[in-house]
Amino acid sequence: MRSYIYIPNSLRAAGRHVRFALSEPLELLPKEAFIRAWCSVSYLFPGLHPDGFDSTDSGWTRVLKRFAAEAWRRSDAGQLTDNELYCYQACKARISQGWQIEERQNKRNQQLLATSFAD
């Protein structure tokens, strides 16, 4: 089975894929469109994990649980690889981008602090 992974290039792009997917029943989406939306959910919410998504304290909202349930349905039917079910690459990309942004902000803040106390 060919594996497909999608990593959004921005929060906006990820949001577009999720909104598109919600415009029709998830089970009717072609595999590629579903994977784009599913990886986008992982990108937008890197702290959520597909295992145990249906428990009350999982952090998954009602709308997002629909994505996880569909991902598990497809996985159980042999339509998704483990790599597609656990699309960690999208989570990793988002976390990495967050650190890069934070580092840039810290450098700017340090520069501002240094110039404000310069003689």
pLDDT at 115: 67
pTM of the complete model: 0.80
Average pLDDT of the chain, as a whole number: 88
pLDDT at 4: 86
pLDDT at 49 > cutoff 80: yes
- Residue 72 burial by Cβ neighbours in a 10 Å radius (0-12, 13-18, 19+): middle
Q: What is the mean pLDDT of residues 17-30?
A: 96
The Cα–Cα gap between 25 and 12 comes to: 22
pLDDT at 113: 57
